[in-house]
Amino acid sequence: QRFVPVDFYLIPTCDLAWLVAGKAAFYIENTEVHSGTIQLSSSRKNLLSAGALKTVQLGRLNLSPIRAHGLGSQPNEEIALKWPYTPSTKPGFMQLSFHKESIKVFHEANVLYWAKALFNMTYNYIHHCITEAPEPPPFDIPQIHFVNTALMLAYAEKAEVLDQPGTPKLVPGSVTIGYLAEELIRLDDNSEFTKFIHNSDPSPFILPGEYGYQTTKFLVFTQHVQYINTGGQVYILDYQDMSCPIHFVPS
């Protein structure tokens, strides 16, 4: 086990019109920073998944002070840490240079930043239509959101000598690694992640009569809303979640 000092920058949900008007991107300079530590383990059982270009590792987050709500509001909170790596012929995962790594992490943070704004616009559109309608719809509107996510920068610990000879003091050093930290979705033995919609095919994965089809139809509807309201410029692909559709995990 090791404890690593970090700076924590929550990726907020913003108004899409505000982002478009300001050509805004997610910058840590414009985001509130929270300091804390993450607890990491090199045990293989804490490796949640390993894809072609990134891993997902279990960690524990402690912010000081803790946030009022959401991600980082609980002491010793379990989180999923996404970390990009470069393929290697050797066992294990080879770290990118921090320059290349930070480009990938900030790129993913910005994709999620805009995706959350798009999804928020979709719900604003739905609520506007319901308000203008003469009567409420004869069905429930699914309540879905992306997982809460933060960009985290981890710092090296370097030893400095105190007044007493031979006594080291650990202080934050230079930034060594960047993570995307997500709220952890625990799956029971009967649950699994579900991909609702293809990356490049308009046909949903879930077929009529299968569990989750109603959610899939709603997600297809959100794509139409996003496409029409952005003048055909953008919509969200690759919706996936666990079998109980409460969150979305950015891929």
In 139-242, which residue ranges form alpha helices assigned H by DSSP?
A: 213-229
Of residues 58, 47, 248, the one with CA closest to residue 149: 248
What is residue 166's predicted lDDT score, i.e. its pLDDT? 45
Confidence of residue 55 (pLDDT cuts 50, 70, 90): confident
When mean pLDDT is compared across 95-109, 161-175, 198-212, the lowest value belongs to: 161-175
The pair of structure tokens assigned to 8 is: 């924590």
Task: Name the pTM for this structure.
Answer: 0.83
Of residues 222, 158, 193, 220, the one with CA closest to residue 56: 193
88 to 52, 91, 194, 232: CA distances (angstroms): 11, 7, 29, 40
The full DSSP string for 102-119 is: HHHHHHHHHHHHHHHHHH
The pair of structure tokens assigned to 127 is: 């609520």
Mean pLDDT within 158-183: 63
Mean pLDDT within 47-68: 89
Confidence of residue 251 (pLDDT cuts 50, 70, 90): very low
What is residue 207's predicted lDDT score, i.e. its pLDDT? 87
- Is residue 224 predicted with pLDDT exceeding 80? yes
What does the pLDDT look like over 107-124, one tens digit per residue? 999 999 999 999 999 999
